[in-house]
């Protein structure tokens, strides 16, 4: 994979790395530390997505890459490690961003390395297979090593970072280990202008998919047909991929929060929950709308729908600088309880959004301008096969909030009007 540079200029990533260095210098200890991020391994025939923290600080989407930062009280140094050139592999994968090499006899960067340095904005680039050798001197001088461990380490296979730490610990038992991901999460929580711009693009693509839903949804369509339409629009509109597996749940499955089988035939009189999001420059949209399969909500469905809309509005009014995510959830919960549906709302109202659909960040910190959260109240009455969720992406601003997904219709009357227009049968 090559470096992804459309979303931000190299100097933006350099500024993020400097912010991390400043944070590392404030940590307890003598200030002699080493921090390492890995981009991750690429699996055969599976589209590669770089580790979010690695990408956040480098803008590089290459597999088998690493970022090394060495910090002392006096200075800091950084080095980017990229895959070495492999012409044989490129016959299969195409041209990728590589470390290049050094020329002989002067040991100057060759053209390929110079291109990598310019593209990624690093003064020092080396080959990934030389990482361990390059670490010998920094680790001898360091007292602390910062590594980015997965927060879900118990739920999956042992990852590259864990294996790397075991090797380091065996050779440098005096090093103190600290969690780099927590520091990175704090920096990632507040989005910069370039990040918000990428999210707006992802949301605009997701809006096109929702428009396509209103033009094609009808009884007799399978959930997977609607999913195919959604994801076709994503690709045709320039999305890099999905922010998460598309959820298209109708009838009883409208009450299943993370339903992703999408195999059911949609029937007249039902609702379908469409929780979808495109990804652009690796940044995510996350939007949910609930549609009447027949084009009009029943009286009972509309009652539930309006209650969710009311909870959404109450939650939005709690979105402001200095507020906490739990206050946003409380506002939505109280509105749903007041409408008589308290027992049918059983998930959180908000999560952070960014490079990941459930982006990193502490929920014990107040909301700040630049933070993006979802607002997604829902009511799920399984006995009646009525599930309604409405989800918007919300940017916290100095004066309050901005609904980034405002242009995606959500009022019941607007949805019914759109679905009343003449529609063509979907064919694949």
How many domains is the chain partitioned into structurally? 2
In this structure, is residue 155 part of a structural domain?
yes
Domain termination site, one of 135, 160, 188: 188
Give, for 275, the enclosing helix (H) or strand (E): strand 271-276
Residue 97: give its domain's CATH number: 3.40.350.10
CATH number at residue 391: 3.90.230.10
Look at residue 21 and tell me whether its pLDDT is greater than 70. Answer: yes
On the question of pLDDT at 4 being above 70, the answer is no
Same domain (yes/no): 215, 339 = yes
Question: pLDDT for 72-96, tens place per residue?
Answer: 989 999 999 999 999 988 888 888 8
Question: Are residues 219 and 80 both part of a single domain?
Answer: no
Contacts of 298 (CB under 8 A, 6+ apart): 269, 292
Based on the domain organization, do 148 and 79 belong to the same domain? yes
Rounded to 5°, the CA angle 331-385-328 comes to 10
Let me know if residue 3 belongs to a domain.
no
Q: What is the pLDDT of residues 261-285, one digit of tens each?
A: 999 999 999 999 999 999 999 999 9
Do 178 and 323 fall within a single domain? no
Average pLDDT, the chain: 94
The domain in which residue 319 lies consists of 193-420
Q: Which residues pair with 66 in a beta bridge?
A: 38, 81
Asked if residue 214 and residue 171 are part of one domain, the reply reads: no
Q: Is the pLDDT of residue 352 over 70?
A: yes
* pLDDT attached to residue 427: 47
In a domain, 69, yes or no: yes
Q: Residues 360-405: pLDDT tens digits?
A: 999 999 999 999 999 999 999 999 999 999 999 999 999 999 999 9
Are 223 and 216 contacting, i.e. CB atoms less than 8 angstroms apart?
Answer: no
What is the predicted pLDDT for the residue at 139?
A: 95
**Does residue 350 sit within a domain?**
yes
Pick from 167, 188, 209: which residue ends a domain?
Answer: 188
Same domain for 382 and 368: yes
Together in a domain, 230 and 294: yes
**pLDDT band at 416, cuts 50/70/90?**
very high
Residues 252 and 160 in one domain: no
**pLDDT score, position 7:** 59
Is residue 349 within 8 A of residue 328, CB to CB? The reply is yes
Query: Over pLDDT 70: what percentage of the chain?
Result: 96
Checking if the pLDDT of 423 tops 80, the result is no
Question: What pLDDT sits at residue 425?
Answer: 57
2 pLDDT more than 60: no
């Amino acid at each position: 994979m090559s470096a992804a540079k459309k979303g931000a200029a190299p100097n933006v990533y350099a500024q993020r790395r400097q912010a991390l260095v400043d944070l590392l210098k404030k940590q307890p200890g003598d200030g002699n530390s080493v921090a390492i991020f890995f981009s991750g391994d690429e699996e055969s025939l599976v589209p590669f997505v770089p580790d979010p923290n690695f990408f956040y600080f480098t803008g590089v989407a290459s597999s088998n890459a690493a970022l090394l930062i060495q910090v002392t009280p006096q200075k800091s140094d950084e080095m980017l490690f990229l895959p070495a050139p492999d012409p044989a592999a490129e016959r299969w994968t195409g041209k990728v961003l590589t470390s290049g090499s050094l020329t002989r006899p002067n040991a100057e960067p060759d053209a390929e390395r110079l291109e990598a340095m310019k593209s990624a904005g690093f003064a020092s680039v080396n080959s990934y297979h030389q990482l361990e050798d390059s670490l010998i001197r920094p680790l001898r001088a360091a007292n602390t090593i910062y590594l980015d461990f997965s927060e879900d380490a118990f739920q999956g296979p042992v990852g590259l970072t864990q294996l790397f730490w075991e090797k380091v610990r065996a050779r440098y038992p005096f090093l103190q280990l600290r969690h780099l991901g927590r520091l990175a999460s704090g920096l990632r929580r507040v989005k910069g202008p370039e990040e918000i711009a990428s999210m707006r693009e992802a949301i605009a693509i997701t809006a096109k998919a929702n428009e396509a839903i209103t033009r094609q949804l009808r009884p007799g369509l399978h959930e997977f047909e609607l999913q195919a339409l959604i994801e076709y629009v994503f690709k045709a509109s320039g999305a890099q991929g999905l922010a998460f597996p598309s959820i298209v749940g109708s009838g009883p499955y409208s009450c299943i929060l993370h339903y992703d089988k999408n195999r059911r035939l949609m029937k007249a009189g039902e609702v379908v929950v469409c929780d979808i999001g495109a990804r652009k420059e690796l940044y995510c949209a996350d939007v949910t709308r609930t549609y009447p399969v027949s084009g009009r909500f029943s009286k009972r469905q509309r009652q539930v729908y309006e209650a969710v809309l009311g909870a959404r509005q109450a939650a939005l009014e709690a979105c402001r600088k200095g507020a906490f995510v739990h206050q946003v959830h409380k506002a939505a919960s109280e509105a749903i309880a007041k409408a008589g549906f308290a027992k049918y709302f059983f998930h959180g109202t908000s999560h952070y959004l960014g490079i990941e659909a459930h982006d990193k960040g502490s929920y014990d910190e107040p909301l700040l301008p630049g933070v993006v959260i979802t607002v997604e109240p829902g009511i799920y009455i399984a006995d009646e096969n009525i599930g309604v969720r409405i989800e918007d992406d919300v940017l916290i601003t100095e004066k309050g909030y901005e609904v980034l997904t405002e242009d995606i219709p959500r009022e019941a009357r607007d949805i019914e009007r759109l679905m009343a227009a003449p529609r063509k049968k979907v064919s694949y």
